[in-house]
Structure 1
Amino acid sequence: MTPSRDPTAAGVAEAAAKIAEILPPTPLLPLEIEGQTIWCKAESLQPIGAFKIRGGWHRLTALSAEERARGVVGVSSGNHAQGVAWAARRLGIAATIVMPVDAPAVKLANTRALGAEVVLYDRPGGEDRDEVAERVCAERGATLVHAYGDPWVIEGQGSAGIEIARQMDALGLGGPDLIIAPCGGGGLTAGLALACPDAAIIPVEPEGWDDVCRSLASGTIQSVAADAPPTPCDSLQTMATRPINFRVLRERCPFGLVVTPTEVRAAQRLAFDRLHLVIEPGGAAALAAVLAGKVDLKPRTAVVLTGGNTDAADFAAVLTGNN
């Protein structure tokens, strides 16, 4: 049910132009780490609190009138859900989102508040979310808007790279030479690779959910183990990337990195203390890798802070060191 075409750099440029018509660029904030400045792309400040609004908008605006009339189905733990729901409400399209029963309460509530119907599946019990989504699509004749394995979604996410390059250029820095980004299924990292062909792209995954890292190392798509450990990075819990993403990633990403829950929480605290931003665990993964010294920074390094949708109590516990 996923479209067969590959994403392109021209598609990323088109997505960036479409998004620029409705949304201002998110800030690119300087942050000094051990004497070197990195540039943090604050996607947590999007209207839905995450970068996923980009792919949702590009995908839904590409639908035909007939497809819009039949509605869309998304699959997400919360950020893609909100991106699709936001775009659907603005375009007058019915949206159904398949979400895990253990998704953060704030993400479930926000998705429903945007007018989407939520269909829950049992992620802890091993229920397959893609099977649930495909069943709903078949029942309703709706279009599946995959969270990462969709060419329009990949192109939409890549629009963040277009903004980063323009913002750095406006500062007299030139384009980025390194972009570090959190990675779940690889939609954002593939889009950034298409948007910024002169930059190295480094995906960062949570411990135990490092399928993209292992796929890059082996040259073939790997899956997350059935007994993968719990992770606070709910937005990065994908079982495996898809061929449409991996074709881009294996050409442009030299390697991937893995971060621990402790490193993620340290990054959340630093972002709050130094940038005054609320960043969810998955959204802080790339910054966590930088703070842990896991990547050699380049003169023009950009780090994507992908989202800020976290339950208040959980975030308070992170700040006080109780989580």
Structure 2
Amino acid sequence: MTIAPNPTERTTAPVFPGPDLAAFERARSVVAEVVQPTPLEHSRILEQQIGSPVWLKCENLQRTGSYKIRGAYHRMSRLSDEEKARGVVAASAGNHAQGVALAARELGIAATIFMPIGVALPKLQATRGYGAEVVLRGHTVEEPLRAAAEFAESTGAVFIHPFDHHDVVAGQGTVGLEILDEVPDLDTLVVPIGGGGLISGVASAVKQKAATLGRTVRIVGVQAANAPAYAVSMQAGALTEVAVTPTIADGIAVSRPGALNFAIVQEAVDEVVTVSDDDTARALLMLLERAKQVVEPAGAVSVAALLTGQVRDAGTTVAILSGGNIDPLMMNRVISHGLASTERYLKLRIPLPDRPGQLARTAQIVAEANANVVEVLHTRHGNGLQISQVELELHIETRGPDHAVEVLEHLRAAGYEPRMDF
């Protein structure tokens, strides 16, 4: 799905809502106190995919594991002494929590973070490790948000919004300035979108800075197909809340864009595309295997858009890897999903005559096709089985789609009727 707001050519430097270029430059000097510029890594496999040079901006290697520390630190550094003394409060299931916790520690501010009860253990431990007081509340992000708002009202603590604030946008935009420093001939920038803090900051900063260099840069935003708040809002021309359905890219599963963020995105972003969970799983697997980058699903959607061919005629391209905070248990699930979606992991159901030797014969056929059986389930209770049949469930590792077809052909040639189980 692609939504474009019909951009027009500009003959003068663009003017967007929110921070101007001077504000982004000031923010850069502030966040330099706590962040390090992250590397840009050339990707040959993605270059082959789109036919143009591709670089990966590795914010997954940033302190706290994501770009969020930039906006949180910049926002909190601009609080008055009186506000700092009151402390800060935030609500998050992960990256924003860690960014606020570390920024608070660096600035000497007391921080209380509300997180859902089921938050991944590594994120919970990291947030506490940075010194924040963590309160577990509810089972969705909405409940911690309400609790944080109530806490702010009752204690006077300053609520730190994850994306919808001028100072947060300015901090996140520093990613874009770093990219232009290293890739001054940038043509296309591909950016994950959740609430919009990153893309609004980066798009505004890059387009304003590029104009001073006599260049134009195309900005493409990427959302999870199951949480397309910006795609829908751009099409409607107004802020629109969507129903979010489950997605592995939970870090960008936001039901409604930020008001300031959306105003900037309408003016500064050229396209918004969406990717499926299968697309994202394949991208995460590719990044792990070929780029040696550990990236969370939300941080890999930019690469998913490139792999699915949704960014065409891109020229010199940078894709932002926005975060790397993935729970090992989730990583195991996503890798398995990615292997299955690329047909490197087959799950087959095969009805067999209920007589000795059939299991061994089936395994031999798979081995003769140079595939590896990793799991077997043998049952007499499958639906549709005749009384003289059993059902064999095989989990098989293959080398990819062509090899998977070869395995199926070997089984069929031997008289079996394997069915793919998705």
Q: Distance in 2 between matches of 1:201 and 1:122?
A: 36
Q: For residues 249-307 of structure 1, what are the alpha-carbon distances to aligned partners after superposition, in whole Å with 9 as ceiling and x for unaligned?
A: 10111331111111111111111112111000111111111111112142221110000
1:119-130 aligned within 5 A: 119-124=135-140, 127-130=142-145
- Cα distance change on mapping 1:100 and 1:224 into 2, 3 Å: farther
The correspondence for 1:305, drawn from 318, 321, 327, is 321
The correspondence for 1:199, drawn from 206, 212, 217, is 217
Give the secondary structure class of the aligned counterpart of 2:28. Answer: helix
Q: Which residue of 1 aligns with 2:392?
A: none
Q: Is the 8 A contact 1:53 1:87 kept in 2?
A: yes
1:1-323 aligned within 5 A: 6-32=18-44, 33=46, 34=49, 35-124=51-140, 127-169=142-184, 174=185, 176-197=186-207, 198-225=216-243, 228-320=244-336, 321=339
Task: Give percent identity, aligned residues only.
Answer: 37
Q: Is the 8 A contact 1:12 1:194 kept in 2?
A: no
Give the Å deviation of 1:103: 2.7
Q: Is the 8 A contact 1:157 1:187 kept in 2?
A: yes
Give the secondary structure class of the aligned counterpart of 1:74. Answer: strand
Contiguous gaps of at least 5 residues in structure 2: 1-16, 208-215, 342-422
Give the secondary structure class of the aligned counterpart of 2:257. Answer: coil
Q: Distance in 2 between matches of 1:160 and 1:72?
A: 24
Give the Å deviation of 1:322: 6.8
Give the Å deviation of 1:131: 2.6
Task: Tell me the C-alpha RMSD between the 2 structures.
Answer: 1.8
- Cα distance change on mapping 1:123 and 1:295 into 2, 3 Å: farther
Letter in 2 for 1:244: L
**Number of positions where the alignment pairs a residue of Structure 1 with one of Structure 2:** 311
Q: Is the 8 A contact 1:203 1:255 kept in 2?
A: yes
Q: Is the 8 A contact 1:19 1:58 kept in 2?
A: yes
Q: Distance in 1 between matches of 2:143 and 2:23?
A: 30
Q: Distance in 2 between matches of 1:207 and 1:101?
A: 26
- Cα distance change on mapping 1:297 and 1:90 into 2, 3 Å: farther
Letter in 2 for 1:253: V
- Cα distance change on mapping 1:67 and 1:299 into 2, 3 Å: same
- TM-score, normalized by length of structure 2? 0.70
- TM-score, normalized by length of structure 1? 0.91
Runs of 4+ in structure 1 displaced over 4 angstroms? 126-129
Q: Distance in 1 between matches of 2:313 and 2:227?
A: 24
Moved more, 275-284 or 291-300: 291-300
Q: Distance in 1 between matches of 2:340 and 2:329?
A: 11
Letter in 2 for 1:23: V
Give the Å deviation of 1:123: 4.4
Give the secondary structure class of the aligned counterpart of 1:96. Answer: strand
Q: Which has the higher contact order (CA 8 A, sep 6+)?
A: 1
Bigger-Rg structure (1/2): 2
Give the Å deviation of 1:211: 0.5
Give the secondary structure class of the aligned counterpart of 2:191. Answer: strand
Q: Is the 8 A contact 1:74 1:146 kept in 2?
A: yes
